[in-house]
Structure 1
Amino acid sequence: MKESHKDIWLKRKQLGRSRYLVLFGLLPWGLGLTVITSLIELISFQQINPVWVPARLVLFFFIGFFVANARWQAMENRFESDSQQRP
């Protein structure tokens, strides 16, 4: 792992897992994809069906949680294996 990547990961790790999941999973994936899909719906159909907005939020929050959790685990494993290789 490059030193710059290690420094970035250490800063993100200091946030804690819960906060990392919110900042790098739930917010960008959950809110971001909900806004994007709602805009696509608005452009395509000239209206937004309010029933689908909460469903999108729930679905994309779950996706964001799992993506961020997988990234956290991958970086933990990568950081751990890198620190074991170097004396």
Structure 2
Amino acid sequence: MSKMTAEQAKKWGKRRMMGKSKYVMFYGVVTWGIILAALFTGMEWMTQQTFTTSWLYIRLVVFGILGFFIANFRWDARERMFHSQSR
């Protein structure tokens, strides 16, 4: 397991103050969900010159769930690195 640099630890120290649930919602569900749904909808538009609204909703849900897991794993990994830094 790698350790954080002092700069990374300082940045994570500020970010972790929002709490795990807000971090996962913002950086996972909202950020990953919206960005990936927009990206795939844009690809659909570029390749087919149309997009289906129902697919947009499905993408938002699926990528929101994916983002939840990504952010949750990132939180846990950064917490482990942060705590190993302080030892």
TM-score by structure 1 length? 0.91
Q: Distance in 1 between matches of 2:64 and 2:80?
A: 24
Match of residue 85 from structure 2: 82
Q: 1:13 aligns with which of 1, 11, 16?
A: 16
After TM superposition, give the deviation of residue 6 of structure 1 in Å. Answer: 0.5
Matched residue type, 1:40: M
**Unpaired segments of 5 or more residues in structure 2?**
none
Runs (4+) of structure 1 moved beyond 3 Å? none
Structure-1 separation of matches of 2:39 and 2:31: 11
Which runs of 5 or more residues in structure 1 are unaligned? none
One-letter amino acid of the counterpart of residue 12, structure 1: R
Which residue does the alignment assign to 2:6?
3
> What is the TM-score of this pair, normalised by structure 2?
0.91
**Structure-2 separation of matches of 1:36 and 1:82:** 36
Instruction: Tell me how large the CA RMSD over aligned residues is.
Output: 0.9
TM-superposed CA distance for 1:32, in Å, is 0.5
Greater relative CO, 1 or 2 (CA 8 Å, sep 6+)? 2
What's the % identity of the aligned pairs? 36
Give secondary structure in 2 for the equivalent of 1:48: coil
